[in-house]
Amino acid sequence: MSSTSSEIRSQKRFYSGRKVLVAGGAGFIGSFLVDRLLDFGAKVSVLLRPSTDPWRLRHLHGRVRLFRVDLNDRRMRDILKRERPSVVFNLAARVNSASGHNAFRATLVENVTNAFRLLEAARFAGVERFVQTGTIAEYGRGAVPFREGQRERPTSAYAVTKVMATHCALWFGAASGMGVMVVRPAATFGPRQAPGMLVPNLIV
Protein backbone atom coordinates (compact mmCIF):
# COMPACT_ATOMS: atom_id res chain seq x y z
CA MET A 1 0.00 0.00 0.00
CA SER A 2 1.48 3.34 -1.05
CA SER A 3 1.71 6.24 1.38
CA THR A 4 -0.53 9.28 0.95
CA SER A 5 0.92 12.77 0.61
CA SER A 6 -0.10 13.62 4.17
CA GLU A 7 1.55 10.46 5.52
CA ILE A 8 4.77 11.28 3.67
CA ARG A 9 4.78 14.83 5.05
CA SER A 10 4.23 13.45 8.54
CA GLN A 11 7.11 10.98 8.12
CA LYS A 12 9.39 13.74 6.88
CA ARG A 13 8.55 15.87 9.93
CA PHE A 14 9.28 12.96 12.23
CA TYR A 15 12.61 11.90 10.69
CA SER A 16 14.04 15.29 9.72
CA GLY A 17 17.25 15.81 11.71
CA ARG A 18 16.66 12.62 13.72
CA LYS A 19 19.41 10.01 14.22
CA VAL A 20 18.47 6.60 12.85
CA LEU A 21 20.49 3.39 12.89
CA VAL A 22 19.83 0.55 10.45
CA ALA A 23 21.25 -2.91 11.16
CA GLY A 24 21.46 -4.77 7.87
CA GLY A 25 21.23 -1.52 5.92
CA ALA A 26 23.51 -2.84 3.17
CA GLY A 27 20.97 -5.48 2.16
CA PHE A 28 18.34 -5.30 -0.56
CA ILE A 29 15.46 -3.92 1.53
CA GLY A 30 17.75 -2.14 3.97
CA SER A 31 19.46 -0.10 1.27
CA PHE A 32 16.13 1.26 0.04
CA LEU A 33 15.14 2.07 3.62
CA VAL A 34 18.39 4.01 4.00
CA ASP A 35 17.59 5.93 0.80
CA ARG A 36 14.14 6.89 2.06
CA LEU A 37 15.39 7.90 5.51
CA LEU A 38 17.95 10.21 3.90
CA ASP A 39 15.22 11.67 1.69
CA PHE A 40 13.31 12.43 4.89
CA GLY A 41 16.31 14.28 6.30
CA ALA A 42 17.41 11.67 8.85
CA LYS A 43 21.03 11.26 9.98
CA VAL A 44 21.64 7.61 9.16
CA SER A 45 24.15 5.09 10.51
CA VAL A 46 24.41 1.53 9.22
CA LEU A 47 25.64 -1.60 10.96
CA LEU A 48 26.97 -4.28 8.62
CA ARG A 49 28.96 -7.46 8.99
CA PRO A 50 32.72 -7.02 8.50
CA SER A 51 32.56 -9.35 5.49
CA THR A 52 29.70 -7.49 3.75
CA ASP A 53 30.30 -5.69 0.46
CA PRO A 54 28.23 -2.48 0.76
CA TRP A 55 27.82 -2.11 -3.02
CA ARG A 56 24.16 -1.17 -2.65
CA LEU A 57 25.21 1.92 -0.67
CA ARG A 58 28.00 3.20 -2.92
CA HIS A 59 25.77 5.87 -4.42
CA LEU A 60 25.47 7.33 -0.90
CA HIS A 61 29.20 7.83 -0.36
CA GLY A 62 29.72 10.29 2.49
CA ARG A 63 26.03 10.53 3.36
CA VAL A 64 25.86 7.59 5.81
CA ARG A 65 28.10 6.36 8.60
CA LEU A 66 29.09 2.71 8.17
CA PHE A 67 30.09 0.56 11.12
CA ARG A 68 31.50 -2.89 10.38
CA VAL A 69 30.65 -4.95 13.43
CA ASP A 70 28.88 -8.21 14.24
CA LEU A 71 25.83 -7.92 16.46
CA ASN A 72 27.47 -10.34 18.91
CA ASP A 73 30.46 -8.02 19.27
CA ARG A 74 30.47 -5.85 22.39
CA ARG A 75 31.57 -2.91 20.27
CA MET A 76 28.06 -2.88 18.83
CA ARG A 77 26.68 -1.70 22.17
CA ASP A 78 29.38 0.96 22.38
CA ILE A 79 28.46 2.21 18.91
CA LEU A 80 24.80 2.62 19.85
CA LYS A 81 25.70 4.33 23.09
CA ARG A 82 27.97 6.76 21.24
CA GLU A 83 25.61 7.39 18.28
CA ARG A 84 22.48 7.58 20.47
CA PRO A 85 19.94 7.05 17.66
CA SER A 86 16.28 7.82 18.27
CA VAL A 87 15.16 4.93 16.05
CA VAL A 88 16.71 1.54 15.27
CA PHE A 89 15.64 -0.69 12.39
CA ASN A 90 16.78 -4.30 12.54
CA LEU A 91 16.99 -5.92 9.11
CA ALA A 92 20.00 -8.09 9.92
CA ALA A 93 19.22 -11.77 9.40
CA ARG A 94 20.49 -15.07 8.08
CA VAL A 95 18.26 -16.44 5.34
CA ASN A 96 18.98 -20.15 5.46
CA SER A 97 17.04 -22.73 3.47
CA ALA A 98 19.17 -25.61 4.75
CA SER A 99 17.78 -28.10 7.24
CA GLY A 100 19.27 -30.02 10.12
CA HIS A 101 20.45 -29.31 13.64
CA ASN A 102 23.60 -27.37 12.69
CA ALA A 103 21.76 -25.15 10.22
CA PHE A 104 19.11 -24.35 12.80
CA ARG A 105 21.71 -23.53 15.44
CA ALA A 106 23.47 -21.01 13.20
CA THR A 107 20.18 -19.44 12.14
CA LEU A 108 19.01 -19.26 15.76
CA VAL A 109 22.08 -17.26 16.78
CA GLU A 110 21.87 -14.88 13.82
CA ASN A 111 18.13 -14.22 13.91
CA VAL A 112 17.14 -14.52 17.56
CA THR A 113 20.15 -14.16 19.87
CA ASN A 114 21.60 -11.26 17.90
CA ALA A 115 18.21 -9.54 17.66
CA PHE A 116 17.95 -9.72 21.45
CA ARG A 117 21.46 -8.29 21.79
CA LEU A 118 20.49 -5.39 19.57
CA LEU A 119 17.32 -4.81 21.57
CA GLU A 120 19.33 -4.72 24.78
CA ALA A 121 21.86 -2.32 23.27
CA ALA A 122 19.05 -0.08 22.02
CA ARG A 123 17.43 0.13 25.44
CA PHE A 124 20.84 0.79 27.02
CA ALA A 125 21.38 3.66 24.54
CA GLY A 126 17.98 5.24 25.23
CA VAL A 127 16.44 4.44 21.83
CA GLU A 128 12.82 5.59 21.53
CA ARG A 129 11.60 3.24 18.80
CA PHE A 130 12.81 -0.15 17.60
CA VAL A 131 11.51 -1.76 14.40
CA GLN A 132 12.07 -5.50 14.01
CA THR A 133 11.78 -6.77 10.43
CA GLY A 134 10.08 -10.12 10.08
CA THR A 135 8.99 -12.03 6.99
CA ILE A 136 5.86 -13.36 5.34
CA ALA A 137 7.50 -16.79 5.71
CA GLU A 138 6.47 -16.71 9.37
CA TYR A 139 2.89 -17.55 8.32
CA GLY A 140 4.06 -20.62 6.41
CA ARG A 141 1.20 -23.09 6.04
CA GLY A 142 -1.33 -20.71 7.56
CA ALA A 143 -4.65 -19.93 5.94
CA VAL A 144 -4.55 -17.40 3.11
CA PRO A 145 -4.91 -14.51 2.76
CA PHE A 146 -2.57 -14.01 5.70
CA ARG A 147 -3.75 -11.73 8.51
CA GLU A 148 -1.56 -10.15 11.15
CA GLY A 149 -3.39 -11.73 14.06
CA GLN A 150 -3.39 -15.32 12.85
CA ARG A 151 -1.15 -17.98 14.32
CA GLU A 152 2.16 -18.49 12.54
CA ARG A 153 2.92 -21.88 10.99
CA PRO A 154 6.57 -21.68 9.89
CA THR A 155 8.01 -24.43 7.71
CA SER A 156 11.76 -23.73 7.77
CA ALA A 157 14.50 -23.00 10.29
CA TYR A 158 14.63 -19.44 8.94
CA ALA A 159 10.90 -18.89 9.41
CA VAL A 160 10.89 -20.49 12.87
CA THR A 161 13.68 -18.22 14.09
CA LYS A 162 12.00 -15.14 12.61
CA VAL A 163 8.81 -16.03 14.52
CA MET A 164 10.91 -16.33 17.67
CA ALA A 165 12.54 -12.95 16.98
CA THR A 166 9.11 -11.37 16.42
CA HIS A 167 7.78 -12.49 19.79
CA CYS A 168 11.07 -11.75 21.52
CA ALA A 169 10.96 -8.16 20.24
CA LEU A 170 7.31 -7.64 21.20
CA TRP A 171 7.90 -9.10 24.66
CA PHE A 172 11.01 -6.96 25.12
CA GLY A 173 9.08 -3.82 24.25
CA ALA A 174 6.29 -4.62 26.70
CA ALA A 175 8.76 -5.48 29.46
CA SER A 176 11.13 -2.55 28.97
CA GLY A 177 8.79 0.23 27.90
CA MET A 178 10.76 0.88 24.72
CA GLY A 179 8.56 1.40 21.68
CA VAL A 180 8.81 -1.78 19.59
CA MET A 181 6.99 -2.77 16.43
CA VAL A 182 7.33 -5.60 13.92
CA VAL A 183 6.83 -5.43 10.16
CA ARG A 184 6.58 -8.43 7.85
CA PRO A 185 7.41 -7.50 4.23
CA ALA A 186 5.85 -9.75 1.60
CA ALA A 187 7.13 -10.68 -1.88
CA THR A 188 9.41 -7.66 -2.20
CA PHE A 189 11.37 -7.28 -5.44
CA GLY A 190 13.18 -4.65 -7.45
CA PRO A 191 16.61 -3.27 -8.34
CA ARG A 192 19.59 -4.41 -6.21
CA GLN A 193 17.90 -7.72 -5.37
CA ALA A 194 20.24 -10.70 -5.28
CA PRO A 195 19.87 -13.29 -8.06
CA GLY A 196 18.04 -16.51 -7.26
CA MET A 197 14.87 -14.90 -5.92
CA LEU A 198 11.53 -15.76 -7.52
CA VAL A 199 10.47 -12.50 -9.20
CA PRO A 200 13.90 -11.63 -10.71
CA ASN A 201 14.11 -15.15 -12.10
CA LEU A 202 10.66 -14.85 -13.66
CA ILE A 203 11.51 -11.49 -15.22
CA VAL A 204 14.76 -12.78 -16.69
Long-range contacts for 173-178 (Cβ within 8 Å, ≥24 apart)?
173/130, 176/119, 176/123, 178/119, 178/122, 178/123, 178/127, 178/128, 178/129, 178/130
Burial class (CB in 10 A: 0-12, 13-18, 19+), 70: middle
Using CA atoms, how far apart are residues 186 and 98, in angstroms rounded to an integer? 21
Question: Which H or E run includes 28?
Answer: helix 28-39
Catalytic residue among 40, 130, 139, 158: 158
Question: Among this protein's residues, is 158 annotated catalytic?
Answer: yes
DSSP assignment of 176-199: H--EEEEE---S---TTPPTTSHH
Give the C-alpha separation, 168 to 192, whole Å: 30
SS3 category, 65? strand
- Catalytic residue IDs: 158
